[in-house]
Amino acid sequence: MKTIGLYIHIPFCLKKCNYCDFNSFEAVEFIYDYLLALKKEISSLKGCGYTVKTLYIGGGTPTILNCDQLVSLFKTLYESIDIAHYAEITIEANPGTLTRDKLILLKAMGVNRLSIGLQAYQNRLLKIMGRIHTVEDFEKNFDTARSVGYDNINVDLIFGLPYQKVEDFKHTIRRILSLSPEHISCYALSVEEGTEFYRWQEKGELPLPSEEDERAMYYEAIDAFTRQGYNHYEISNFAVYGRESKHNMVYWTYKDYLGIGAGAHSFLNNERFYNHSSIPVYIKSITKSANAVAHIEPISAEEQQAEYCFLGLRLLEGLDKKHFYQRFGREITQVYGKAIVKLKEQGLLEENRQKLRLTAQGLDFANAVFAEFLP
């Protein structure tokens, strides 16, 4: 049986955050019809022959669903596809949408990993970001999750926020460490077109920290988390050893995954495809034909090699040269010899007999490194 990662998209949020360019909408009036369509798409997996080794319910805000809706969603999942008994089952949650009852129910449904979006430990920054919750809401939810037995919790943080000082971020780090989550995701803010932040930036009203301060925040995170014993295993991710995100590892190690729901992306048998991202279009397509694929793209061998490299290089342990050979039938040096020599000379890459990986300096210039692998 082939194993895959399965992603389920719940594209609803109570309020759109000011920096968010994800496929998420405040259109909660569509929830009922969307769930009917989503369950129909999930049911179409019956007999597909895949075993799910990681299940990730993301969004949006999946915990916006009420207990009945969550039960019905999980029931459809378990009836439609083989979910391995050892599977990592994650749900994304936002403070303000979690209750004790919901947390207990999710655990009973098999959820064994929670990913909570906090972003910053200052209410004034949360407000600027347009988040619906306060730091106190987060602490309450985190404590409740622990009290009902969740022992694998990720907390999402963002740095480089408008009005954020290095000292603010250090405070965020200290407070997070005092809670000892098993996993911390820590991404630099990226201002994307179509967001409120982008509009503010266009008007000159988005005072971001200097590049120097933003880098200082990143180094602070690496230093503080690793000193506390976390494994800095991916550019932006830290985990207690053994609690690395298995689902995200599917993406970074270029394994197959299937995405269900509006706008969800899949990568199966060297083909990439994705669903319509508009909620009404998705519902209409599924209702009509149980299929909402908007685009299918075969990935050429050249593109696969490039993607394998720049995803694998996101991992601090680096990519496995033997796996590259096993997958593509060519030595990595045959394909990228020149680029590897150049990047090593620049001090951005290093290699040993098994692995090729970013140096500490390479971490800072990761995008420039990845560009060298583009076809």
Residue number with CB closer to ligand SF4 (28 or 48): 28
* Residue 365 DSSP symbol: T
- Min dist CB 63 to ligand SF4, Å, is 10
Number of residues this chain uses to bind ligand SF4 (CB under 6 A) = 11
Is 95 a residue that touches ligand SF4 (CB under 6 A)? no
Give me the phi and psi of 31, to 5 degrees please: -55, -45
Q: How far apart are CA 291 and CA 374, in angstroms?
A: 32
Q: How far apart are CA 244 and CA 321, in angstroms?
A: 22
CB 339 within 8 A of CB 347: no
Q: How far apart are CA 159 and CA 51, in angstroms?
A: 37
CB 128 within 8 A of CB 157: no
**β-bridge partners, 272:** 267, 297
**Tokens (6 digits) for 111:** 């959820």
- Min dist CB 250 to ligand SF4, Å, is 21
Is 18 a residue that touches ligand SF4 (CB under 6 A)? no
Is 94 a residue that touches ligand SF4 (CB under 6 A)? yes
In the three-class reduction of DSSP (H, G, I as helix; E, B as strand; rest coil), residue 274 is classed as: strand
**β-bridge partners, 239:** 183, 231
Q: How far apart are CA 279 and CA 263, in angstroms?
A: 9
Is 76 a residue that touches ligand SF4 (CB under 6 A)? no
**Among 256, 261, 286, residue whose Cα is nearest residue 271:** 256
Residue number with CB closer to ligand SF4 (16 or 323): 16
- Min dist CB 254 to ligand SF4, Å, is 25
CB 251 within 8 A of CB 5: yes
Per-position DSSP letters for 228-244, written without gaps between them: TT-EEEETTEEESTT-S
Is 13 a residue that touches ligand SF4 (CB under 6 A)? yes
Is 185 a residue that touches ligand SF4 (CB under 6 A)? no
Q: Which of 8, 17, 224, 358 binds ligand SF4 (CB under 6 A)?
A: 17
Binding piece for ligand SF4, criterion CB under 6 A, among 41-49, 57-65, 342-350, 351-359: 57-65
Is 61 a residue that touches ligand SF4 (CB under 6 A)? yes
Binding piece for ligand SF4, criterion CB under 6 A, among 11-19, 36-44, 260-268, 309-317: 11-19
Q: Which of 59, 62, 209, 312 binds ligand SF4 (CB under 6 A)?
A: 59
Residue number with CB closer to ligand SF4 (10 or 250): 10
Binding piece for ligand SF4, criterion CB under 6 A, among 20-28, 164-172, 279-287, 351-359: 20-28
- Min dist CB 22 to ligand SF4, Å, is 4
Binding piece for ligand SF4, criterion CB under 6 A, among 56-64, 71-79, 285-293, 348-356: 56-64
Q: How far apart are CA 65 and CA 97, in angstroms?
A: 9
Is 141 a residue that touches ligand SF4 (CB under 6 A)? no
End-to-end CA, the chain: 33
User: Residue numbers of the site for ligand SF4 (CB under 6 A)?
Assistant: 13, 16-17, 20, 22, 24, 59-61, 94, 117
